[in-house]
Chain A
Amino acid sequence: MPPSVSNYGPAPGLLELVDTPFYAQQQYQCGPAALMTVLTASGVTTTLDAVSRQVYLPARQGSLQSEMLAASRAAERVPYVLVPEFSSITGELATGRPVLVLLNLGVSWAPLWHYAVVVGADAVSEQIILRSGTEERRVMHTPVFLRTWRRSNFWAMSILRPGELPANPDRNRYIEAVAGLEQTGHPLAARDAWQAGLSQWPDDSVLLFGLANAQYALGNFSAAELGFLVILRNDEASLIARNNLAMTLVAQGRNREALEQIDTALNLAVDSPLLEELLDTQSSILSTDIDAWNQRGIGVE
């Protein structure tokens, strides 16, 4: 159930996600507490201890942004790093998602990094409402917030359920967020996220490629095959699609068709950095398939 939004509060123009949970930070651990807040708001069941173990680096007394992204992926969520604009934050709030931000409460030469969660904004009274540190409802004057946020180069992320799109979707940022899911072994989440992406950017070859790869990882080989064929219909010269199509055919025991695809790709691959990968695919098919090997005329018969 999405968190309820109160936009009729005491102040006009206020948008506040009042149901967002609060986890008070322990010692220096603002990173785990803030991440726990946005993960829980996104329906993830976990504990502060578990999140701390994933993102808190005792030696640094803090958490790195990359660890925050990785821990979100481990929870089968899409960590979307927002376009560095204030409207990105209000956009996410309007769709019911709180936003994790990195602030620098110190100064540039003596930084004091702090993670907090924006749960509300009031355009009229210029206030930002945060879950921050040990304060459940910290109110900051918007210009002060913007100053401290700017010192982190406006770093902010929201947690998307696989299948959700950001309020202000940016193609490259979205693709980067989802590609990490594939790499870390979450094909189910990746599949749903790629599908959502295709509803926003239909026919995008990278999204189609990601979706087909996810289908392959899930063992849905005929869906993967279809996906790679769609890419090749739009772009015959896509060597990556042809390589992966060949792998998908091999997974279905169709080695001869796979070799045909690799041959087609090799004819196009002169000077391509993918040449070696294609040759590897070819020799691995040949080495496992004595009939195909024989057909190439290497046998004596």
Chain B
Amino acid sequence: MHSIMLQNFVVRFVSLALLSLGLAQTSGAAMIGTQQVVQSEVRDGRLTRVETILAREDVVRQLVAFGVDPLAVQSRVGNMTDAELLALEGKLDQQIAGGGGALVVIGVVFVVLIVLEIVGVIDVFKRV
């Protein structure tokens, strides 16, 4: 009886000590700030805009013509960091602002190919 209580105390003490050691290495519990939510909203909006451009029928057709799987492109875009996504969106915007019709499609597709090549996903240029 006595020894069980002591054992119980020791187990609790050691467990808590270990746990607090672990906690010292993490960020600890915290309220999640509104800014964090805003940033994830901004990211979602950006993602939607980029994905809408990439899902255009003419863009998809051109990607396929280059031997690129449009689904792989979409999935890669979803895994981009915020900074990469911002850069991609900016470059796509430039292409779209820069002209109309077929030129835009070629521009968009090359931006996608170049950006994805930089981050090392496809090697269409090496294969060609």
Contacts and interface: CB of A to CB of B under 8 A. Distances in A.
Given A206-B37, A209-B37, A287-B20, A244 B8 contact: no
B35 A240 contact: no
Given A286-B19, A287-B20, A281 B34 contact: no
A287 B19 contact: yes
A7 to B, nearest CB: 37
B34 A210 contact: yes
Contacts of A284: 23, 28-29
Interface in A238-260: 240, 243-244, 247, 250
B16 interface: yes
Nearest to B45: A172
A280 B26 CA distance: 7
A182 B34 contact: yes
Nearest to A290: B12
Contacts of B22: 283
A277 interface: yes
B34 A277 contact: no
Nearest to B41: A206
B23 A283 contact: yes
A301 B6 CA distance: 11
Give the secondary structure class of A's interface. Answer: helix
B33 A183 contact: yes
B16 A287 contact: yes
Contact of A183 (B11, B35, B42): B35
Contacts of B27: 277, 280
B102 interface: no
A178 B35 CA distance: 9
Given A284-B23, A284-B29, A298-B11, 6 more contacts: A183-B34, A209-B37, A277-B30, A290-B12, A293-B12, A298-B15
Interface of A: 172, 175-176, 178-180, 182-183, 206, 209-210, 213, 216, 240, 243-244, 247, 250, 274, 276-277, 280-287, 290, 293-294, 298-301
Of all A-B residue pairs in the complex, the 8 with the closest CB atoms, nearest first, are A284-B29, A281-B29, A210-B34, A300-B8, A179-B34, A240-B32, A179-B35, A179-B38
10 contacts: A179-B33, A183-B33, A247-B29, A274-B32, A280-B28, A280-B30, A287-B20, A299-B8, A299-B12, A300-B8
